[in-house]
Amino acid sequence: MAIVFDLDGTLLDTLTDLAASANYALRYCGMPEHSTDDVRRFVGNGVRMLMARAVPNGESNPRFEEAFSVFRQHYMQHCLDTTRPYPGIMEALAQLKEKGMTLAIVSNKMQAATEELRQHFFSQYIDVAIGESAGIRRKPAPDTVNEALRRLGISHNEAIYVGDSDVDIATARAAMMPCASVLWGFRDRQFLLDHGATRLLASPEEILLLV
């Protein structure tokens, strides 16, 4: 059996570093900055969409591509500044491995950053991490989940998806997998329920109840 995890807002609290890189790029381009709470609402659909929501007039802004490029460069250099696993995550992963679970990460974060974070924090527990790259559709398309399961040699009916957002709920539905939604991430309980959440996890320890 396998558990496929979202990354940002599920395993890792990445919000401060994402906000710092977004605001660095906005400052560089002479654009207004955003609060951390603003950035919390912007994340979930990949870093390009994050910046499209942060930049005035989005992708139609003539300096959007410049701002996006500056963001990517800054984030790759600073994605480990303050990012940490949520309390209890490492202990839960260790217990899942002890139970013989196979674990994977799927993310709308850039593949290079996704893999760097997997190696830095989770290399002893998680073998596969699929992020955004050319030729594979971002969540909520099921492509990243399908690729993770293919690499693990696990079928969809042997897997559970764990995430923190409406995008994750839609991804699990598209991949025909059950979904558990966490309450310590970037979206609150009512938002998740309004977007179709059917199982809520109040703490990382409750992940163990899935198996």
| Residues noted as catalytic | 6
Token pair listed for 34: 């955003």
Instruction: Return the H-helix or E-strand segment holding 43.
Output: none
Instruction: Check the CA dihedral 113-119-125-128 and report its sign.
Output: positive
Write down how long the chain is.
Answer: 211
Measured CA to CA in angstroms, residue 78 lies from 5, 17, 51, 164, 191 at distances of 23, 7, 17, 23, 30
Tell me: cis bond preceding 56? Omega within 30 of 0 counts.
no
Give the C-alpha separation, 34 to 41, whole Å: 11
Nearest to 76 by CA among 52, 45, 110: 110
Q: Is 123 helix (H, G, I), strand (E, B) or coil?
A: coil
84 strand-pairing partners: 13
Q: Outline where 87-139 has alpha helix (H).
A: 89-98, 111-117
